[in-house]
Amino acid sequence: MKKYYFLFVIVLFTQSSFAQMKLIKRMLSNEKDTTRKASFMPVPVFGYAQETGFEFGVGALYSFYMDRKDTTNRSSNFSGTASYSTKKTYSITLKGDAWTKGNLYHAIGEIRFKKMPFNFYGLGNNTSNTDEDKLVQQQVKVLFDLEKTFIKHAYTGVSLGFENYSFEDKIIGGIYSLDPSILGRPGGKVFFTGVSQSYDTRNSNNYPSKGFFGRVTYQYAPDFFGGNNFTGSQLKLNIRNFWKLSNKFILGAQGLYHTVQSNNTPFYLLPQLGNDEMMRGYYTGRYRDKNLLALQTELRYRYSNRFGAMVFAGAGTVWGKSDFDVDAFKPNLGAGVRYFFDPAKGLSVRLDYGIGEKKGTEKRQSGFYISLAEAF
C-alpha cells in the first residue's frame, strides 16, 4: 500500500512540474495569440510607508474583444486593485474601458473607495518640504463616460461623476490648518455632469505604434449639495501622437491641460502634478493649483513580443489665476521595462523609475512604479 501511495505522489508531483513548466513556457513564448481570445493577468500589490505600515493586496486586468471576428474592434479592458495595510488603511479601485462591436460606442468607468494617509504641502508650484503635513483621506469616487461615433474616428459623449471626500489632520498646527487660502478642509461632495469630444486614429488603444488621439472634456458641478460644497466647472484636454520609427522603436508624445474654474475650489479638487502616468518621479499632490499643464515624450523599444524597454522625459507646472510662468516648468526623466502578458493586444506590466527636480537642500524627488498597461 505504501508503494502505491509513493507512486501516486510521484505522479502528482510530475504532473504539477510539467504544468508549471508549460505555464512558464507559455508566459515567455515569443509567439502572438492570433485567436483574439480573452486574457487575464493578476499582479501582487505590496509596499511599505511609515504612514501606512506594510501594504499588501492584489491587482488584475481582464481584456477581451466584443467582436473577435472583426480585427478592427478595439479591446475592452477591465482592471481592479485592492490593498490593505497593517495600519488599517485600504484602497479599492475598479476601472473599465469598453468598445462595442464596430467601435460604435466607447464607455469609460471608474469606481474608487479609499482611506489612505498622504503628505500635504500646501498650494502652488513652489511648496516646501518643510511644510509637510500628514493627513488621512477617505474618498468615494464614481465616474462614467459614454461616447458614440457619428463621423469616422470622432466620438461625442456625455459624462457623469460623483466624488465624496473627508479628511483628518494628524498634525494640528501645520500648514493645513493655518493657511487661510486652503478651502474645503473638512471635505465635501460634488456632482459633475458634462460633455466630451474625442478624435482617435491610433492603430491600437493599448500599445499604439502610430496615430493621433485627442480628447476634450467639459464638466459642470451645479449647487447640488449646498453649503460650502464645490460649484463650478472643469476642463480637461488630453492630446497624444505616436510615430513608428522602425520595427522595434516607437516615439510617443503627450500633452495634458486641466483647469478648474470656481470661486470656492476645495484643495482636493485642484489639479495635482505627478502620478504613475504623467510627471513620474513627483509625489502626487506635492504641487497643486487651479491650472495644470504637462508634456512628456517616450521612446519605446520592443525587444521581442514579450519584453520591451523605454526612456521618458517631460515637463510640467501648476499655477493660479494669473501667475503662469514658462520658467516655472519642472523637469522629469526616467526609464522602465515592460513585460507583455498579452502580446497580441499589447497589454503589459510596466516598471518605471522617474526622477524630478532637486529643490534647494531637499532630496531630489523620485518615484518607482509598478502598473498595468502603458502610461499613455
The model carries a pTM of: 0.86
Instruction: Please give the pLDDT value at position 48.
Output: 62
Cell 464638466 identifies what position? 219
Using pLDDT thresholds of 50, 70 and 90, give the confidence band for residue 2: very low
Cα separation, 22 vs 25, in Å, equals 5
Residue 210 has pLDDT above 50, yes or no: yes
Residues in the chain: 376
- Taking only the tens place, the pLDDT of each residue in 284-293 is 999 999 999 9
Average pLDDT value for residue range 300-315 = 97
Cα separation, 225 vs 126, in Å, equals 33
Cell of 199: 478624435
Q: Domain boundaries in the chain? A: 39-372
Asked whether 109 and 143 are in contact (CB, 8 A), the reply is: yes
Backbone angles phi, psi at 374, to 5 degrees: -75, 160
Instruction: Please give the pLDDT value at position 83.
Output: 92
Average pLDDT value for residue range 191-209 = 96
Using pLDDT thresholds of 50, 70 and 90, give the confidence band for residue 17: low
- Taking only the tens place, the pLDDT of each residue in 325-342 is 999 999 999 999 999 999
- Taking only the tens place, the pLDDT of each residue in 64-81 is 999 999 999 999 999 999
Report the CATH fold assignment for 39-372: Porin (2.40.160)
Residue 1 has pLDDT above 70, yes or no: no
Tell me the CB-side half-sphere exposure of residue 114, using CA atoms within 13 A: 21
Backbone angles phi, psi at 146, to 5 degrees: -135, 125
